[in-house]
């Protein structure tokens, strides 16, 4: 078994689903791994194949980078197919970010996937309708300088407080809720350390 498939299985095995939707997506991903020879093959359309994407926070973690996808016409996170040369899905996500917005210096915020999502992709002239089994990682950028390219028609930093389903895809809005909860937990931890007698507050970065 290829090393990146072993890595994927390990990450899925360690993933803690937060709700019924995530549990369903997780089980469907595990089933795909067990039912096909190559779960990353982009020409496999029944039911589909794995992809990798990146939710990228601004350096101060207050904003999220979204791209206007050229083919789908929606504001989404950068991401896409796993190429044969990608050693793992994190590398695939980093490559897609570089191709679509030019960012290279990214800090991985969580050791494994931040979110999982299975979604429908409509048929096009050279592809049947299928599903993307998207493994999503959370990064923080070291710069705000981005340039839209490849599948991205535009790219912009959007404050987390301003992202909802009217602006972005429903699955993006769902991840934003997780990011807001994460930010609230970080703020509560900082306040707790700040008020503890004799403690040294942790660095916010």
- What values do phi and psi take at 15, rounded to 5? -70, 135
Q: How confident is the model at residue 44 (pLDDT cuts 50, 70, 90)?
A: very high
Of 120, 87, 89, 91, the C-alpha closest to 104 is 91
How many other C-beta atoms can be found within 10 angstroms of the C-beta atom of residue 129?
12
Q: Among 20-29, 42-51, 71-80, which is the least confidently predicted range?
A: 71-80
- Which residues contact residue 27 at a Cβ distance below 8 angstroms, ignoring those fewer than 6 apart? none
The DSSP symbol for 59 reads T
Task: Give the C-alpha separation, 117 to 133, whole Å.
Answer: 6
Query: What pLDDT score does 168 carry?
Result: 80
Task: Give the C-alpha separation, 166 to 146, whole Å.
Answer: 23
Q: Among 5-14, 68-77, 102-111, which is the least confidently predicted range?
A: 68-77
Q: Which residue has the higher pLDDT, 46 or 73?
A: 46
Phi-psi region of 79 (alpha: psi -120 to 50; beta: other; left: phi over 0): left
Query: What pLDDT score does 190 carry?
Result: 79
Query: What pLDDT score does 95 carry?
Result: 97
How many other C-beta atoms can be found within 10 angstroms of the C-beta atom of residue 143?
12
Tell me the pLDDT tens digit for each residue of 120-177.
998 988 889 999 999 999 999 999 999 999 889 999 999 998 988 777 888 999 999 9
Is pLDDT above 90 for 186? no
Task: Give the C-alpha separation, 154 to 112, whole Å.
Answer: 28
Q: Are 25 and 12 in contact (CB under 8 A)?
A: no
- Which residues contact residue 34 at a Cβ distance below 8 angstroms, ignoring those fewer than 6 apart? none
Tell me the pLDDT tens digit for each residue of 24-35.
999 999 999 999
Q: Are 98 and 89 in contact (CB under 8 A)?
A: no
* Residue range 3-195, CATH number: 3.90.79.10
Task: Give the C-alpha separation, 78 to 83, whole Å.
Answer: 15
Is pLDDT above 90 for 114? yes
Query: What pLDDT score does 70 carry?
Result: 80
């Amino acid at each position: 078994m290829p090393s990146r498939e072993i890595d994927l299985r390990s990450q899925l095995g360690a993933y803690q689903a937060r709700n019924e939707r995530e549990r369903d997506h997780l089980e469907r991903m595990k089933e795909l791994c067990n039912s096909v020879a190559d779960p990353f093959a982009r020409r496999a359309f029944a039911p589909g194949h794995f992809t990798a994407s990146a939710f990228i926070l601004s350096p101060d973690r207050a904003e999220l980078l979204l791209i206007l996808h050229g083919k789908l016409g929606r504001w989404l996170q950068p991401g896409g197919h796993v190429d044969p040369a990608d050693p793992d899905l994190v590398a695939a996500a980093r490559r897609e970010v570089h191709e679509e917005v030019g960012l290279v210096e990214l800090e991985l915020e969580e050791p494994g996937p931040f979110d999982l999502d299975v979604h429908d992709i409509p048929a096009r002239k050279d592809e049947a309708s299928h599903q993307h089994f998207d493994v999503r990682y959370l990064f923080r950028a070291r710069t705000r300088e981005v340039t839209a390219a490849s599948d991205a028609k535009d790219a912009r930093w959007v404050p987390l407080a301003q992202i909802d389903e009217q602006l972005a895809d429903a699955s993006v809005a769902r991840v934003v809720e997780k990011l807001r909860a994460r930010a609230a937990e970080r703020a509560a931890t900082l306040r707790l350390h700040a008020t503890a007698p004799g403690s040294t507050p942790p660095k916010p970065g």
